[in-house]
């Protein structure tokens, strides 16, 4: 996990050996099981996470229905900045935003990457993310796959 994290940081800035050692001391590995929350609604986000393996889903409860807004996948950082920065309770079980306004564009990006959200997320969650009913998703996917 730490090597993936250090590689990710070094894609942004160059770290000296002493800075690498400091970074190692600042991060602690935590393993989440399927269904565990990085941050649940009403909690205060007190940390920034790094996804070494797996997929996290950002969603809110809207009128009793879960609405998926984004996925965070391997080698991405996760945080609910709206809670983290002011240290106020979260209104969502949040991770990271990667919003698209167009359903077709979103689905092309999701299904284009074989290691992306489509490989690990349920079709129900992907349908929620792009704002369609699960029944419509297979029809849309078929239409998009014909374009490749």
- Mean model confidence pLDDT for the chain: 78
User: How big, in percent rounded to 5, are the helix, strand and coil portions of the chain?
Assistant: 40, 20, 45
Name the class of domain 31-99. mainly beta
The pLDDT score that the predictor gives to residue 21 is 93
Query: Which residues, 6+ apart, have CB-to-CB distance to 41 below 8 Å?
Result: 60, 61, 90, 91, 92, 93
**Amino acid 86: pLDDT:** 93
The pair phi, psi for residue 76, each rounded to 5°, is: -120, 150
Query: Where exactly are the structural domains of the chain?
Result: 1-28, 31-99, 100-148
Average pLDDT in the 116-137 region? 75
Residue 131's region, left for phi above 0, alpha for psi from -120 to 50, else beta, is left
- pTM for the full predicted model: 0.64
Checking DSSP bridges between strand 55-62 and strand 49-51, what pairing results, if any?
unpaired
Is the model's pLDDT at 14 over the cut of 90?
yes
The answer to which of 61-75, 87-101, 111-125, 127-141 has the lowest mean pLDDT is 87-101
pLDDT tens-digit map of 29-61 = 888 887 788 888 888 999 988 888 877 888 887
Write down the H helix ranges in the chain: 2-10, 17-26, 81-84, 103-112, 117-120, 123-130, 134-145
For residue 119, pLDDT beyond 60: yes
90-114 pLDDT tens trace: 876 555 336 343 455 556 666 666 6
Distance between CA atoms of 91 and 40, rounded to whole angstroms?
9
């Amino acid at each position: 996990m730490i090597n993936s994290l250090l590689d990710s940081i070094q894609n942004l800035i160059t770290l000296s050996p002493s800075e690498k050692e400091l970074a190692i001391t600042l991060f602690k590995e935590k393993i989440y099981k399927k269904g565990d929350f990085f941050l649940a609604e009403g909690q205060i986000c007190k940390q920034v996470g790094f996804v070494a393996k797996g997929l996290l889903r950002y969603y809110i409860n809207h009128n009793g229905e879960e609405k998926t807004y984004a996925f965070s996948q391997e080698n991405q950082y996760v945080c609910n900045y709206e809670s983290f920065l002011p240290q106020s309770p979260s209104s969502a079980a949040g991770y990271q935003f990667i919003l698209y306004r167009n359903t077709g564009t979103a689905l092309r990006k999701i299904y284009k990457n074989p290691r992306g959200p489509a490989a690990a997320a349920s079709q129900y969650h992907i349908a929620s993310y792009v704002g369609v009913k699960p029944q419509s998703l297979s029809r849309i996917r078929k239409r998009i796959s014909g374009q490749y």
